[in-house]
Amino acid sequence: MPSSDRLREQRLRAAVRDGVIDALGTVFWSVLAAVALLVGLQAIQIAFVTPSILATAGFVAVGVLVSGASLYLLSLLYWTRESDASTPNGLIESTFTRWASRDGT
């Protein structure tokens, strides 16, 4: 194997660190979006037991807004990624590719 194909340990560690940070960020935002979706659905559920029409409309509006925002966040996280980065192996490969292209090798 030619020496130009080898990744130095420092570059390898940096690529793994970037991959782990990206994965942790995805997990954090996914959990946040899931909780927000549940909060939005709960607001819609509360709207069914409020005595006033104005309160019902307000809870429904808030529920739809929060649920829609969380679904939009989930769509940004999972359905608009590059096709090669949608799997864990693809994410690692794309991270290595980014680091290799920075050094011009």
* Residue 51 domain flag: yes
Number of domains in the chain: 1
* Residue 105 domain flag: no
* Residue 102 domain flag: no
* Residue 2 domain flag: no
CB-count exposure of residue 18 (10 Å: 0-12, 13-18, 19+): middle
Indicate the pLDDT class of residue 101, thresholds 50, 70 and 90. Answer: low
Quick count: other Cβ atoms within 10 Å of Cβ 5?
8
| Full domain range(s) for residue 58 | 10-88
Q: What is the pTM of this model?
A: 0.64
* Residue 71 domain flag: yes
Indicate the pLDDT class of residue 1, thresholds 50, 70 and 90. Answer: very low
pLDDT by residue (tens digit) across 37-89?
999 999 999 999 999 999 999 999 999 999 999 999 988 888 875 544 555 55
Are 29 and 70 in contact by the 8 Å Cβ rule? The answer is no
Place of tokens 């037991």: 49
